[in-house]
Amino acid sequence: MGPWSAVLLYTQHGEQCLAHRAAWKLLSGVREGQTQVDTPQVGDMAYWSHPIDLHFATKGLQGWPRLHLQVWSQDSFGRCQLAGYGFCHVPSSPGTHQLDCPTWRPLGSWREQLARAFVGGGPQLLHGDAIYSGADRYRLHTAAGGTVHLELGLLLRHFDRYGVEC
Amino acid sequence: MVSEKSHLGDQQEPGHEDPNADARPLSMPTRRGPRSLPPIPSASRTGFAEFSMRERMREKLQAARSKAESALLQEIPTPRPRRLRSPSEKELETEFGTEPGGKIQTTQQEDDSQSYSRVKFRDSVRKIKSKTPDEEELLDDKDAVDFLLGLDRGAEDIVAVRPADYESVHIRLQKEKELLFIPSRRTVPTYKKLPENVQPRFLEDEGLYIGARLEVPRTNQNIMENRLLMQEPGRRWFGDDGRILALPNPIKPFPSRPLVLSQEQDIKAELETLYKKAVKYVHRSQHMIGSGDPPGNFQLDIDISGLIFTHHPCFSREHVLAAKLAQLYDQYLARRQRNKAKFLTDKLQALRNAVQMSLNPAKTPKSLDTTRRAINEYKSEIRQTRKLRDIEQEKDRTLLKTIIKVWKEMKSLREFQRFTNTPLKLVLRKEKVDQKADEEAYEAEVQAEISELLEEHREEYEQRMDEYRSAHQQWKAWKKAQRTKKKKKKQGVEEHPDDEMEEPYPGEDPVKPVPPEPTNQAVIEQEVRERAAQSRRRPGEPMLVPELSLAGSVTPNDQCPRVEVLRREDVKRRSVYLKVLFNDKEVSRTNSRPLGADFRVHFGQIFNLQIVNWPESLTLQVYETVGHSGTTLLAEVFLPIPETTVVTGRAPLEEVEFSSNQHVTLDHEGVGSGVPFSFEADGSNQLTLMTSGKVSNSVSWAIGENGIPLIPPLSQQNIGFRSALKRADAISSIGTSGLTDMKKLAKWAAESKLDPNDPNNAPLMQLILVATSGESYVPDFFRLEQLQQEFNFVSDEELNRSKRFRLLRLRSQEVPEFRNYKQIPVYDREIMEKVFQDYEKRLRDRNVIETKDHIDTHRAIVAKYLQQVRESVINRFLIAKHHFLLADLIVEEEVPNISILGLRLFKLAEQKRPLRPRRKGRKKVTAQNLSDGDIKLLVNIIRAYDIPVRKPITSKFQQPPRSSRTFSEKQAASPTTHSPTHSADYPLSQVLVRPFVEVSFQRTICHTTTADGPNPSWNEELELPFRAPNGNYSTTSLQSVKDDVFINIFDEVLYDVLEDDRERASGIHTRIERHWLGCVKIPFSTIYFQAKIDGTFKIDTPPVLLGYSKEQSVVAERGFDPVRSLSEGSYITLFITMEPQLVPGESVREKFDSQEDEKLLQATEKFQAECALKFPNRQCLTTVIDISGKTVFITRYLKPLNPPQELLNAYPNNPQATAELVARYVSLIPFLPDTVSFAGICDLWSTSDQFLDLLAGDEEEHAVLLCNYFLSLGKKAWLMMGNAIPEGPTAYVLTREQSHYLIWNPCSGHFYGQFDTFCPLKSVGCLIGPDNIWFNIQRHDSPLRINFDITKPKLWKSFFSRSLPYPGLSSVQPEELIYQRTDKAAAAELQDRIEKILKEKIMDWRPRHLTRWNRYCTSTLRHFLPLLERSQGEDVEDDHRAELLKQLGDYRFSGFPLHMPYSELKPLIEAVYSTGVHNIDVPNVEFALAVYIHPYPKNVLSVWIYVASLIRNR
Tens-level pLDDT at each residue, chain A (166 residues): 222 323 222 333 334 444 445 678 888 887 777 777 787 777 778 888 888 888 888 887 777 888 888 888 887 777 888 888 888 888 888 899 999 989 888 888 888 889 888 888 888 887 777 777 766 777 778 888 888 888 989 988 888 888 877 6
Give contacts of A37 with chain B, Cβ < 8 Å: 281
* Per-residue pLDDT, B28: 44
Highest mean pLDDT among B261-270, B773-782, B912-921: B912-921
- Out of A57, A119, A120, name the one closest to residue B805 (CB): A57
Give contacts of B269 with chain A, Cβ < 8 Å: 126-127
Which residues have CB under 8 Å from B1444's CB, separation 6+?
A: B1106, B1420, B1453
d(CA B617, nearest CA chain A) in Å: 32
State yes or no: pLDDT of B1239 exceeds 60: no
Runs of H (alpha helix) within B506-615 = 521-535, 562-573
Partner-chain contact A75 B798, CB within 8 Å: no
The length of chain B in residues reads 1514
d(CA B1143, nearest CA chain A) in Å: 26
B696 and B654 in contact (C-beta within 8 Å)?
yes
Partner-chain contact B273 A29, CB within 8 Å: no
Residue of B323, B330, B311, B335 lying closest to B409 (CA atoms): B323
d(CA A97, nearest CA chain B) in Å: 25
- Out of B278, B791, B802, name the one closest to residue A80 (CB): B278
State yes or no: pLDDT of B428 exceeds 50: yes
- What is the rounded average pLDDT of the residues B1-11? 42
Partner-chain contact A121 B277, CB within 8 Å: yes
- Using DSSP, state whether B1130 is helix, strand or coil: strand
Residue B786 pLDDT level (bands cut at 50, 70, 90): low
* Per-residue pLDDT, A98: 93
The residue that leads in pLDDT, B333 or B957, is B333
- What is the rounded average pLDDT of the residues B1399-1425? 84
Partner-chain contact A140 B257, CB within 8 Å: no
- Domain ranges for chain A, please list them: 7-162
- What is the rounded average pLDDT of the residues B338-364? 75
Give CA–CA dist A27/B1221, Å, rounded.
57
d(CA B888, nearest CA chain A) in Å: 13
Give CA–CA dist B1162/B1359, Å, rounded.
12
Angle between helices B368-417 and B340-359 (to 10 degrees): 160
State yes or no: pLDDT of B361 exceeds 70: no
**DSSP summary character for residue B833:** G
* Per-residue pLDDT, B53: 60
Give contacts of B271 with chain A, Cβ < 8 Å: 125, 127, 130, 136-137, 139-140
For A88, the enclosing helix (H) or strand (E) is strand A79-89
- What is the rounded average pLDDT of the residues B549-570? 78
- Using DSSP, state whether B489 is helix, strand or coil: helix
Partner-chain contact A23 B785, CB within 8 Å: yes
Ramachandran quadrant class, B246 (left: phi over 0; alpha: psi -120 to 50; beta: rest): beta
Longest Cα separation, chain A: 57
Which residues have CB under 8 Å from B533's CB, separation 6+?
A: none
Residue A136: closest CA among chain B residues belongs to which residue?
Answer: B271
Give contacts of B798 with chain A, Cβ < 8 Å: 59
Q: What is the DSSP string of B870-914?
A: HHHHHHHHHHHHT---HHHH---PPPP-HHHHHHHHHHHTSPP-T
The CA–CA distances, whole Å, from B251 to B209, B211, B246, B263, B1347 equal 17, 11, 14, 22, 100
Partner-chain contact A57 B269, CB within 8 Å: no
Residue of B1072, B1049, B868 lying closest to B941 (CA atoms): B1049
Which residues have CB under 8 Å from B602's CB, separation 6+?
A: B305, B306, B593
Partner-chain contact A123 B273, CB within 8 Å: yes
- Out of B270, B278, B799, name the one closest to residue A129 (CB): B270
- Out of B275, B785, B791, name the one closest to residue A121 (CB): B275
Backbone dihedral angles phi then psi of residue B593, each to the nearest 5 degrees: -115, 140
Give CA–CA dist B548/B532, Å, rounded.
28
Interface probe with B: pick from A7, A25, A27, A39, most Cβ of B within 10 Å: A27
d(CA A109, nearest CA chain B) in Å: 9
d(CA B872, nearest CA chain A) in Å: 21
The residue that leads in pLDDT, B1268 or B777, is B1268
The residue that leads in pLDDT, B406 or B598, is B406
Instruction: Determine which of B402-416, B1402-1416, B1437-1451 has the lowest per-residue pLDDT on average.
Output: B1437-1451
For B1135-1172, the pLDDT digits (tens) are 988 887 777 665 555 556 667 778 888 888 888 888 88
The B-side interface with A (CB below 8 A) comprises: 257-258, 260, 263, 267-281, 284, 785, 787-788, 791-796, 798-799, 802, 805, 808-809, 811-812
Q: What percent of chain B has pLDDT over 70?
A: 68
Residue B132 pLDDT level (bands cut at 50, 70, 90): very low
For B959-975, the pLDDT digits (tens) are 333 333 333 333 333 33
Interface probe with A: pick from B260, B262, B793, most Cβ of A within 10 Å: B793
Q: Which residues of A61-86 are buried (b: 16+ CB within 10 A; e: fewer)?
A: bbbbbbbbbbbbbbeeeebbbbbbbb
State yes or no: pLDDT of B824 exceeds 70: yes
For B1026-1035, the pLDDT digits (tens) are 887 766 777 6
Residue of B616, B614, B607, B610 lying closest to B644 (CA atoms): B614
State yes or no: pLDDT of B630 exceeds 50: yes
- Out of A59, A77, A139, name the one closest to residue B792 (CB): A59
State yes or no: pLDDT of B1314 exceeds 70: yes
* Per-residue pLDDT, B93: 43
Give CA–CA dist B1354/B1339, Å, rounded.
11
- What is the rounded average pLDDT of the residues B274-283? 70
State yes or no: pLDDT of B12 exceeds 70: no
- What is the rounded average pLDDT of the residues B1390-1419? 85
- Out of A26, A121, A139, name the one closest to residue B276 (CB): A121
Residue B270: closest CA among chain A residues belongs to which residue?
Answer: A127
Pairing between β-strand B279-280 and β-strand B273-276 as defined by DSSP bridges:
unpaired
Number of A/B CB contacts below 8 angstroms equals 120
State yes or no: pLDDT of B121 exceeds 70: no
Give contacts of B795 with chain A, Cβ < 8 Å: 59
State yes or no: pLDDT of B1483 exceeds 80: no
* Per-residue pLDDT, A97: 92
* Per-residue pLDDT, A17: 41
Partner-chain contact B272 A127, CB within 8 Å: yes
* Per-residue pLDDT, B473: 87
* Per-residue pLDDT, B1259: 80
State yes or no: pLDDT of B752 exceeds 70: no
d(CA A52, nearest CA chain B) in Å: 14
State yes or no: pLDDT of B479 exceeds 80: yes
Residue A161: closest CA among chain B residues belongs to which residue?
Answer: B793
Give CA–CA dist A145/A1, Å, rounded.
10
State yes or no: pLDDT of B939 exceeds 60: yes
Residue B618 burial class via C-beta count within 10 angstroms: exposed 0-12, middle 13-18, buried 19 and up: buried
Give contacts of A25 with chain B, Cβ < 8 Å: 799, 805, 809
For B366-396, the pLDDT digits (tens) are 566 777 777 788 888 888 888 888 888 888 8
Which residues have CB under 8 Å from B463's CB, separation 6+?
A: none
- Using DSSP, state whether B557 is helix, strand or coil: helix
The residue that leads in pLDDT, B787 or B1290, is B1290
In angstroms, the first-to-last Cα distance of chain B is 155
Highest mean pLDDT among B842-856, B1028-1042, B1214-1228: B1214-1228
State yes or no: pLDDT of B678 exceeds 50: yes
Give contacts of A139 with chain B, Cβ < 8 Å: 258, 263, 267-268, 271
**DSSP summary character for residue B647:** B
Partner-chain contact A126 B273, CB within 8 Å: yes
Which residues have CB under 8 Å from B575's CB, separation 6+?
A: B592, B593, B594, B595, B624, B625
Give contacts of B263 with chain A, Cβ < 8 Å: 139, 141
Pairing between β-strand A55-58 and β-strand A32-34 as defined by DSSP bridges:
unpaired
The CA–CA distances, whole Å, from B1087 to B934, B1081, B1234 equal 17, 11, 15
Q: Which residues of B1144-1166 are buried (b: 16+ CB within 10 A; e: fewer)?
A: bbeebebebebebeeebbebbee
- Out of A62, A77, A127, name the one closest to residue B791 (CB): A62
Longest Cα separation, chain B: 191
B1238 and B877 in contact (C-beta within 8 Å)?
yes
Instruction: Determine which of B125-129, B759-763, B1281-1285 has the lowest per-residue pLDDT on average.
Output: B125-129
Interface ipTM: 0.81
Instruction: Determine which of A112-126, B271-285, B1217-1231 has the lowest per-residue pLDDT on average.
Output: B271-285
Give contacts of A112 with chain B, Cβ < 8 Å: 275
* Per-residue pLDDT, A4: 33
